[in-house]
């Protein structure tokens, strides 16, 4: 959940306040208020002169270029390593210069940031501009995949799950952890991305054993496949879609899921939940 409205423009100070950061210049912002979130701003760099630019594709995904203004870009700088980890929700904004009239009205020259929505990073690859000032530099570009808020994805595991699992929770934990913990594949396919996401959802559902992992209540009703209905929540991200680590997801009853997103004590509730999940994961890891 984010407080921003798609298409609406904001001042940089509002972005910094939301995320809890004081970064002055960077195009990618992060901070202590929303630790699972990155704010990515697009525009004001790249373009024809440089031979590359961020780009919205016809399917609604984006190519978003990494940070690093000269020479080859590295995946080890703070912004690019966070983007490539695949573990963050991205709030994307496009940038524009204010008009003279707006400068007069606002009393400052600061750029304006228009909200484009929430995304996950589904993969990345290298891009070499063939012209412009960055010609020949090795740049990284990240594929941003839009996600809808309040859209609880019901994976059809038979179709979406490419990985073969025996149904053993310990084995799933090991494999899902090692998949994500090794550097995410550049050029990861959408099929693989969805499959990994479906596997993490299935894992949380199996680990819950049909009981809410926050309050312990039995799932409120049964799904067509016989499993109890619980919603999968990402503990640190803003959004509940996308792949992640077993230790970062919880299967929750609809009440607890609302509570963790919307209640006045959501931060404390989430912290308790994280501790409970960490303990469960230790137990699963200890299984022979
Ligand atoms: Zn619950």
* pTM for this entry: 0.79
Based on the domain organization, do 110 and 175 belong to the same domain? no
User: Which residues lie at CB < 5 A from ion ligand 1?
Assistant: 212, 214-215, 253, 256
pLDDT computed for residue 288 by the predictor: 62
Q: Cβ-count burial of 226 within 10 angstroms (0-12 exposed, 13-18 middle, 19+ buried)?
A: exposed
- Domain boundaries, position 116: 9-147
Q: How far apart are CA 36 and CA 88, in angstroms?
A: 5
Task: State which of 85, 117, 147 marks the end of a domain.
Answer: 147
- Ligand 1 centroid – CA 210 distance (Å): 11
CA of 232 to the centre of ligand 1 (A): 12
Where residue 28 sits, what CATH number does that domain have?
Answer: 2.30.280.10
Of 147, 166, 181, the residue at which a domain comes to its end is 147
pLDDT per residue of the chain (288 residues) written in tens, 0 to 9: 678 999 999 999 999 999 999 888 778 999 988 888 999 999 855 566 788 888 888 888 899 999 888 899 998 899 999 998 888 889 999 998 888 998 998 888 889 999 999 998 888 888 999 988 889 999 999 989 888 643 444 444 445 555 566 668 888 888 777 765 455 555 666 677 777 788 888 899 899 999 999 999 999 999 887 888 999 998 888 777 777 788 889 999 999 999 998 899 988 999 999 999 999 999 988 876
d(CA 97, CA 107): 14
Residue showing tokens 């063939």 = 130
User: What is the model's pLDDT at position 161?
Assistant: 59
Structure tokens at 66: 């990494």
Q: Do 163 and 277 belong together in one domain?
A: yes
Is residue 235 within 8 Å of 249, Cβ to Cβ? yes
Q: Report how far ligand 1's centroid is from the alpha carbon of 252 (Å).
A: 5
A 10 A CB-CB count for 35 gives: 12
Question: To 10 degrees, the CA torsion angle through 164, 170, 174, 175?
Answer: 10
Distance between CA atoms of residues 99 and 117, nearest Å: 24
Are 237 and 178 within one domain?
A: yes
**Rounded to the nearest 5°, which phi and psi values hold at 5?**
-110, 130
Examine residue 152 and state whether it is found in any structural domain, yes or no.
no
- Do 186 and 156 meet the contact criterion of CB atoms below 8 Å apart? no
| 42 and 132 belong to one structural domain | yes
Straight-line distance from the first to the last Cα atom of the chain, in angstroms, rounded to the nearest whole number:
39
Dihedral angle sign, alpha carbons of residues 116, 91, 119, 215 = negative
State in Å: Cα 91 to ligand 1 middle: 28
Backbone angles phi, psi at 225, to 5 degrees: -85, 5
* Nearest residue to 64 via CA among 173, 116, 141: 141
How much distance in Å is there from the Cα of 268 to the middle of ligand 1? 15
Instruction: Examine residue 242 and state whether it is found in any structural domain, yes or no.
Output: yes
Q: Find the radius of gyration of the CA atoms of the chain.
A: 20
1 assigned to some structural domain: no
186 and 264 fall within a common domain = yes
Q: Among 100, 128, 147, where does a domain finish?
A: 147
Q: Same structural domain for residues 58 and 142?
A: yes
CA distance 160 to 234: 19
Whether 68 is covered by a domain: the verdict is: yes
In a domain, 3, yes or no: no
The structural domain count of the chain equals 2
Domain co-membership, 22 together with 134? yes
Residues 143, 18 within the same domain: yes
């Amino acid at each position: 959940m984010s407080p921003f409205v798609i298409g609406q423009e904001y001042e940089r100070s509002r972005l910094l306040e939301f995320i809890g950061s004081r970064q002055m210049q960077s195009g990618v912002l992060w901070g202590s208020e929303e630790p699972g979130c990155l704010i990515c701003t697009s525009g004001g760099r790249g373009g024809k002169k440089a031979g590359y630019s961020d780009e919205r594709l016809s399917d609604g995904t984006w190519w978003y270029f990494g940070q690093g203004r000269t020479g080859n870009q590295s995946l080890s700088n703070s912004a690019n390593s966070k983007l490539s980890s695949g573990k963050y929700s991205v709030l994307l904004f496009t940038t524009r210069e204010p008009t003279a009239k707006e400068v007069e009205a606002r009393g400052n020259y600061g750029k304006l940031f228009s909200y484009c929505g929430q995304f996950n990073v589904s993969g990345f690859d290298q891009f070499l501009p063939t012209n412009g000032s960055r010609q020949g530099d090795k740049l990284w570009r990240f594929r941003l995949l839009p996600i809808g808020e309040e859209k609880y994805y019901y994976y059809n595991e038979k179709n979406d799950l490419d990985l073969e699992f025996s149904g053993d929770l310990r084995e799933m934990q090991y494999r899902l952890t090692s998949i994500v913990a090794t550097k995410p594949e550049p050029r990861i396919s959408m099929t693989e991305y969805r499959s990994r996401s479906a596997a993490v959802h299935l894992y949380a559902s199996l680990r819950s054993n049909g009981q809410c992992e926050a309050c312990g209540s039995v799932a409120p009703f049964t799904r067509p496949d016989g499993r109890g209905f619980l919603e999968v929540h990402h503990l640190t991200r803003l959004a509940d879609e996308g792949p992640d680590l077993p230790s970062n997801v919880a299967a929750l009853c609809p009440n607890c899921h609302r509570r963790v997103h919307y209640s006045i004590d959501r931060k404390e509730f989430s912290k308790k939940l994280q501790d409970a999940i960490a303990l469960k994961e230790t137990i699963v890891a200890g299984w022979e």
